[in-house]
Amino acid sequence: MARVRRLPLGTRLPAALAAGAGSRSERSVKIRPATPADLDAVVRNEAASFSTPWSRHTFLSLLARHTVIFRVAEDDAGALIGHGIIWWVFDEAELANLAISPSARGNGLGGALLDVLLAEVALHGVLRVFLEVRKSNEAALRLYRSRGFEAVGERRNYYVNPREDAIVLQLDFDVDLSRAS
């Protein structure tokens, strides 16, 4: 079971967290709610991250849904360097999209954005989160496993371009229901 770290919305993350331990950078990263004004940059980031990117229309439609958490990460210059989307139904959620700009990868930003999404969705009574990831995406698998996700299944030929299986991962939140009122 995973314990969720709660970070306030709009949290500015220190460069050491965003850029990894030992970084000497003075930059910071801000994670905030996505807006329609972000969509062009989100679409560019999506295209740079995935072989079958989502459309602008898809992202726009998600902004209006009350069971969707859509966050963007921007650097201290205001440039969008990541986006993440998680949605829920009752007590289960799906991490639907997590994309970090190629130039910002490998520095802890994916983990920071994931932590924010998980913390926020937990506030909505979610007890379990699922996701699919390419079998070959070792960096993403390491990230998800570091947060407590475990493999629970496989989807054959789930991805196209190139065709590849997906690993289904699940995270159960560590919730003490006896304390709920």
Residues known to be catalytic: 132, 144
What DSSP string describes 108-166? SHHHHHHHHHHHHHHTTT--EEEEEEETT-HHHHHHHHHTT-EEEEEEEEEETTTTEEE
Closest by Cα among 93, 141, 144 to 114: 144
Cα gap 92→21, rounded to integer Å: 33
Contact 155, 148 (CB under 8 A): no
List C-alpha distances in Å: 63 to 2, 34, 69, 100, 132: 28, 7, 8, 19, 22
